[in-house]
Amino acid sequence: MPDVTLEGSVTARAPSRYADRARIATASLLALAIFAIDISTPVTYGVGMGYVLAVLLGLWVRSARFPLLAAGGATAFLVADLAAAWSSAIPLAAIVNRSLTAVLLWATALFVLRFKGVEADAAGHLGRLEEIRHALDVAAIVAMTDVAGRITFVNDKFCEISGFSRDELLGQDHRIVNSGLHPKAFMQDLWHTIANGRVWHGEIRNRKKDGGYYWVDTTIVPFLNARGKPYQYVAIRADITERKLAEERLRSQEALARVGQLAAMVAHEVRNPLAGIKAALQVIKATRPPGDPEAAVMQDIIDRADALNGLVSDLLLFARPRPPQLQIVSLHGVLGEALDMVRRDPLGAALRIAINGEDVALSGDRMLLRGVFQNLVLNAAQAMQGSGAITVRTSVNGPTARVEIHDSGPGIPETHRGQVFEPFFTTKSRGGGLGLPIARRSVELHGGTLALDCPPQGGTVATVQLPVRAPAASPVA
Whether pLDDT at 99 is above 70: yes
23-70 pLDDT, tens digit per residue, is 777 777 776 777 677 666 665 555 666 777 777 777 677 777 777 777
**pLDDT band, very low/low/confident/very high, at 306 (cuts 50, 70, 90):** confident
Q: What is the mean pLDDT of residues 197-218?
A: 91
- Helix and strand element counts for the chain (H, E): 13, 12
Whether pLDDT at 2 is above 50: no
List beta partners, residue 365.
none
- Which of 14-23, 131-140, 257-266, 330-339 has the lowest average pLDDT? 14-23
pLDDT at 124: 67
Cα separation, 209 vs 227, in Å, equals 38
Cα separation, 353 vs 279, in Å, equals 39
Percentage of the chain lying above the pLDDT 90 cut:
17
Are 154 and 143 in contact by the 8 Å Cβ rule? The answer is: yes
> In Å, what is the CA distance from 86 to each residue of 80, 83, 89, 114, 132?
10, 5, 7, 36, 62
Cα separation, 404 vs 384, in Å, equals 17
Pairing assessment for the beta strands 230-239 and 213-224 based on DSSP bridges: antiparallel
pLDDT at 474: 37
Q: What is the mean pLDDT of residues 152-157?
A: 91
397-455 pLDDT, tens digit per residue, is 888 889 999 888 887 777 677 677 776 667 665 556 677 888 888 888 888 888 888 88
Whether pLDDT at 150 is above 80: yes
Are 75 and 54 in contact by the 8 Å Cβ rule? The answer is: no
> In Å, what is the CA distance from 269 to each residue of 135, 277, 309, 465?
61, 13, 12, 38
Whether pLDDT at 11 is above 70: no
Highest mean pLDDT among 20-29, 224-233, 248-257, 383-392: 224-233
176-182 own/partner pairs: CB under 8 Å, 24+ apart: 177/206, 177/207, 177/208, 178/206, 178/207, 179/205, 179/206, 179/207, 179/213, 179/453, 180/207, 180/417, 180/453, 180/454, 180/455, 180/456, 181/205, 181/417, 181/418, 182/414, 182/417
pLDDT at 296: 81
pLDDT at 39: 64
Helix (H) or strand (E) holding 77: helix 66-84
**pLDDT band, very low/low/confident/very high, at 302 (cuts 50, 70, 90):** confident
Whether pLDDT at 179 is above 50: yes
349-372 pLDDT, tens digit per residue, is 778 888 888 888 888 888 889 888
- Among candidate residues 352, 416, 415, the one with its CA nearest the CA of residue 384: 352
Are 67 and 51 in contact by the 8 Å Cβ rule? The answer is: no
Question: DSSP labels for 121-174?
Answer: HHHHHHHHHHHHHHHHHHH-EEEEEETT--EEEE-HHHHHHH---HHHHTT--G
Q: What is the mean pLDDT of residues 139-145?
A: 89
Q: What is the mean pLDDT of residues 172-195?
A: 90
Instruction: Count CB neighbours of 72 within 10 A.
Output: 15
Output the pTM of the full model.
0.47
Percentage of the chain lying above the pLDDT 70 cut:
77
